[in-house]
A and B are shown apart, each in its own frame.
Chain A
Amino acid sequence: MTEASAPVAEPASVPVLDRPIPPRGWVVIGRKEIGDHVSSARFVVLLIVLGLAAGIPLYLAAEQIRNLASQVSGAQAVFLAMWVIGAQDSSIFQLNVTIQSFVGLAAPLLGIAFAFDAVNGERSQGTLPRLISQPIYRDDIINGKFAGALAVISLVLVSVMIFIAGFGMIRLGIVPSLGEVIRLGLWVVVTIVYVGVWLALGLLLSVAVRRAATSALMGLGSWLLLVVFGKFIVNLFIAFFIRVPANGTAQEQLQVAQLQDFVTRLLPTTLYTEASIVLLNPRATSTGGTLGTLGQYDQAQQQIPSLLSLDQSLLLVWPHIVALVAIMAVLFAAAYIRFMRQEVRA
């Protein structure tokens, strides 16, 4: 921070404090937030949602995964298949019921649920002036709330993933290779970053919108817009701004398609989905396209006999991770700037 160090000499009327400024106010705030979250109704919702996200796909696809593990001798990366294989013909809204897609769907909601009332909640309780008048920086408040919420969600996420891995090993007899464990770990990290993006959005809303209920609604709206209708809306926009004449050349058509593709890829949802697929599926050679059912899985295996090595996969998803972090940083900075200039009074 830009805050200056203590002055050389203090005026005589001011006793020198032996008590140091707590060096990290955000740690104190984060710790309180964790305590609050863990004892809140939100936490129960978090447990149920992530539990279902793991339980349902696992339940539906367990039989297939078991078959895969026993029949397809030498099938590679069967452990990770637990995350990306869903039950045949069990797609809801064209989303394959896989653990990965469920988590991808729920992560934004969790992020928003844990942050939408972070600052406006303090404001409506009347605790904000008191909090800000303590010797902490204003950004400590935002940082602490972000860190606390992220810690709680991450903890539950990691626990659930460990539970799934345990289930796979004990009930299905699938033993992961080291590479698979690393991939899973990386995927969890990317998922946490993705949750962070939505937490940052929730924080921004909680700063910008005075009423918690309104900010929750706006958060839900953004989720619907980006996660559910994201691609559709992007295409609609591009079609609106760039009109390809009916007799346009194939070249022009292609350009528009490429533009659509490019913009869609900038959506955090797309970034996350693509990164997930590459990380959880060693067969993925490009970041486009998804693998869903067992049939597709078998096909893919026949098409590309060799697996991508870990560093090849990382190379593929590195831009995605960077882009996600960048989006999070922008949202965070917006929340921060907004909060800095805001009146303390309601």
Chain B
Amino acid sequence: MSGAGRTESRSGRIRTEPPIRTRALTKQYGDLNAVDGLDLEVRAGEIFGLLGANGAGKTTTILMLLGLTERTSGAVRVVGFDPARNPLEVKRRVGYLPDAVGFYDDMTGRENLRYTARLNGLKGQVAEQKIETVLDQVRLSDRADDRAGTYSRGMLQRLGIADALVKDPTVLILDEPTTAIDPIGVVEILEMLRGLVRDRGVTMLLSSHLLTQVQSVCDRVGIFAAGKLVGIGTVPELATRFGEGDAHVEVAFEGVSDPATSDRVAGFLAAIQDVAEVRRATSLLDPWTLVVRPPESAIRVREAVLAVSAREGLHLTSIRSVVASLDEIYTKAVRAAGLASGSHRPSGDRPAAGGRAVA
């Protein structure tokens, strides 16, 4: 592997090599395929979200990317190196937040970070300044000189993120970075991380099962189920792929309070061409949902709703198209993969760039 890798880096073809790339990466624990033939590519300067349920294989994948766990088969390259052969080259460039991060209880937060800095060859004034900066970035400056043993769970998580940043990484790998952090803190931290990506071209891979968070911060997401990547792309791309060929339009009316009116309105809406289903709201205030098939008809359906409302004197108060949320995409992607697994269909489409094999 190493010899070939080195030739590659001289040839120039790999100059555009993505910071993280795996080919047919597999990890077996006994009979269990924790990660199963994973082809993953994270591009420079993007935030990539790994989504998956408990036990899907997110942490295992991350550990293999860092060379912390031996892979069973397949190839990995991170920042141009094979983590199994050149672990130090990878580790000095990759900041890592483990899923259950811990610190030395009897040392202060600052002392903990100082130790990490030393291990990365940072000393003296340079190290102190860096530590001050990262503590500030995670809003922990005022507690920095308390013992880490006195920190709350969320503060430890923040310190963990600071710890991953101390080495000035080119790639950040964060395993469930926002667990235990309060809602405002999450927004703050995701904003800070996004800033790092924007200002310094850091590439970020984060794993999570908090779908909405991933949706708000990630450029692309990969959906993981049972060790396989069942979908990869931007959220709208995935929505199109896993939307089961439909789009949703939300409509809300005023004065649809009695069953008779409700039935009448439902009748008008169902009559519109390409409206496959009318889902009435369970409560009076919620909008109704029209399922449109094929999804391209969504715009035409919206116009038709407006026309019908004018003609029949309905008080339309709002109308909008909704992109399927990541929750739905996720559920559908996983379900689709479950159906496919019996027929040995390769799991999901892969991005075009993913066709190249590692030499």
CA distance A29 to B68 in the complex (A): 19
Chain B proximity of A12: nearest CB distance (Å) = 4
Please, which residues of chain A bring their CB within 8 A of the CB of B85?
Answer: 4
Contact residues in A for B104 (Cβ distance below 8 Å): 125, 127
Interface size class of B (residues with CB under 8 A): 35 or more
B120 at the interface (CB under 8 A from A): yes
B residues less than 8 Å from A20 (CB atoms): 121
Whether A136 lies near B103 (C-beta < 8 A) is no
* B68 and A13 form a contact (CB under 8 A): no
Q: Does A74 contact B (CB under 8 A)?
A: no
Contacts A8-B10, A130-B98; A344 near B115 (Cβ below 8 A): no
Known: A11-B80, A130-B163. A25 touches B119 (CB 8 A): yes
CA of A341 to CA of B68, assembled, Å: 10
| Other-chain contact of B98, A19, A32, A126 (Cβ < 8 Å) | A126
| B147 within 8 Å of A (CB atoms) | no
Chain A residue with the shortest CB-CB distance to B171: A14
Q: Is the interface of A mostly helix, strand, loop or mixed?
A: loop
Cβ-neighbour of A133 out of B59, B96, B102, B103 (below 8 A) = B96
Q: Is the CB of B79 within 8 A of A135?
A: no
CB distance B88 to A13 under 8 Å?
Answer: no
A7–B9 contact, CB under 8 A? yes
Q: Is residue B19 within 8 Å, beta carbon to beta carbon, of the partner chain?
A: yes
CB of A259 within 8 A of chain B? no
Q: Which one of B6, B19, B66 contacts A13 once the chains associate, using CB atoms below 8 Å?
A: B19
Q: Mark A106-133, 1 if CB is under 8 A from B, else 0.
A: 0000000000000000000111011111
A134 touches B102 (CB 8 A): no
Would you call B116 an interface residue if the criterion is a C-beta within 8 Å of the partner chain's C-beta atoms? yes
A311 at the interface (CB under 8 A from B): no
CB atoms of B98 and A9 under 8 A apart:
no
Tell me how far the C-beta of B54 lies from the nearest C-beta in chain A, rounded to whole angstroms. 14
In the bound complex, do residue A126 and residue B100 qualify as a contact, i.e. CB atoms below 8 Å apart? yes
Mask for B59-98, Cβ within 8 A of A = 1, else 0? 1000100101110000000011100011111011110101
Residues in A whose Cβ lies below 8 Å from that of B16: 11-13
B128 touches A (CB below 8 Å): no
Interface presence of B281 (CB below 8 A): no
B101, CB-defined interface residue at 8 Å: yes
Q: Does B181 contact A (CB under 8 A)?
A: no
Is B340 part of the binding interface, using a Cβ–Cβ cutoff of 8 Å? no
Instruction: Give the CA-CA distance A137 to B19 in the complex, in Å.
Output: 22
Are A21 and B121 also in contact (CB < 8 A) when A8-B9, A9-B9 are? Answer: yes
With A13-B80, A22-B121, A126-B101 as given contacts, are A345 and B59 in contact (CB-CB < 8 Å)?
A: yes
B residues apposed to A, CB below 8 Å: 2, 5-6, 9-10, 14-19, 44, 59, 63, 66, 68-70, 79-81, 85-89, 91-94, 96, 98, 100-105, 115-116, 118-122, 160, 163, 167, 170
Q: Nearest 5 CB-CB pairs, A to B?
A: A126-B102, A135-B92, A129-B98, A11-B80, A134-B119
Q: Could you name 16 residue pairs across A and B whose Cβ atoms are closer than 8 Å?
A: A6-B89, A7-B80, A11-B16, A12-B15, A13-B17, A13-B19, A14-B93, A19-B92, A29-B119, A125-B103, A127-B104, A129-B96, A130-B98, A130-B103, A134-B91, A345-B63
